[in-house]
Amino acid sequence: MKLTQDELLAHIKDVVSPLIKETNSAELADMVEAKVVEAVNAKNAPPAWAEGLMGEKKEAAPEAKTRTKGEGFGRIVRAVACARLDGGGSAKVIESLKQSGDEDLAIGVEKALGAGTGPAGGYLVPTQQSSEIVELRRAATVVRGSGAREIPLPTGTLQVPKLSTGATGTYVGENQNITKSEETLGQLTLTAKKLAVLVPMSNTLLRTSSPSVDAMVRDDIVQSLANTEDAKFLRGTGTDKAPKGLRYLADNVFNAAAASAAGVASDLGIHMQALLDSNTPAGNWRWIFSPRTWRYIYTLVDGSNNSIYRAEMSQGTLFGFPFSMTTAIPNTLTLGGNDDCSEIYLFNPNDIVIGDNLDLSISASDTAAYYDGSSVQASFSLDQTVIRAISEHDMGARHEEAISVSRGVRWGV
């Protein structure tokens, strides 16, 4: 006779257990009954794939919240700063994020701490938030914003092959030897350069749990990173542990003409011819100049007082190519006897490569001193927390001839 599970358990309890107690001991009877119950329960347990669907459910991982770009980064920075103020370490950072309802960020920080330096006061920002910061910097800068190629730099160094010279063909007569030609390969080596910024923040604001405070923390750090980075991407010499910029990567550099309608037309034409002569594909070129230079070209008129470039520049292009203006190109450069010069750039963004290491590190201190440009300030006496952000990147050109620079530009002086 086949018993159901309930009938089997009842038979063990009513018949088998009393028999074992009579012939052996009560302890053995209880053990047998417990083992049978355990075996029946194990047989009824759901398969591994169904765990969480039946019976007790496992705690689900928190869903990532929908936030504006960089908002999560701002919340993480504020949590690090508040933990530092309260004398806590990594556990306090995670606790602070959870208390503010950011469980998903807390998990990300906890994972990043595996490779970070949390006990020493520094923390690696999770990759997702680091990527958002790169996107925000791209929008705030002219070189990244131009459409330069961005590639990961996870190990700190990357070599990108490039063709230095190509093979050439020759016409030959009958029974003549063909002249040999070979391609010459070169390499563009990107080596991570460390960019660090210090941002003093009011402790009163940092303790305020408000999205506007998170946005302010984010924007201050992003703008500081973007401004410093853009200045070096444009005019870095490559000799101060910083990337070499377009100005010193360029193969084509010439002195600008004097300010006049004819001089402007001639110089802009020289820029374009330089790229065309180097076989740089036209179509995605971009101009960069200072606001003073923009103002001069934009307001330039001909002999009949008709605007020459205003209509096109109002649409965002000059000679058919988009332009950007930035104060990162100064109007105080020296050339010859003039110390009020600027520069104009024309380049192909497709030939510019930016390597990014997304291990963005942040640290906070309420006792650090910092230089504000004129004197040293003590954050403790000012009730401030100094936030330090460190990123690593490098920039190079696949073809230096795809960059043209005119120097000594005094248009609009």
19 versus 335: which is more confidently predicted?
Answer: 335
Q: Which two tokens stand for residue 76?
A: 């993480």
Q: Tell me what pLDDT residue 48 has.
A: 54
**Ranges in the chain annotated CATH 3.30.2400.10:** 123-164+184-413
Residue 212, number of CB atoms within 10 A of its CB = 10
Tokens of residue 318, six digits: 């000059």
- Using DSSP's 3-state secondary structure scheme, residue 243 falls into coil
Q: Answer whether residue 60 shows pLDDT above 60.
A: no
72 three-class SS: helix
Q: Is the pLDDT of residue 251 over 50?
A: yes
67 has pLDDT over 70: yes
90/103 Cα distance (integer angstroms): 14
User: Which CATH architecture does the domain made up of 123-164+184-413 adopt?
Assistant: 2-Layer Sandwich (3.30)
Residue 151 · residue 158 · CB < 8 Å? yes
Res 175: pLDDT: 77
Most confident of 85-89, 264-268, 376-380: 264-268
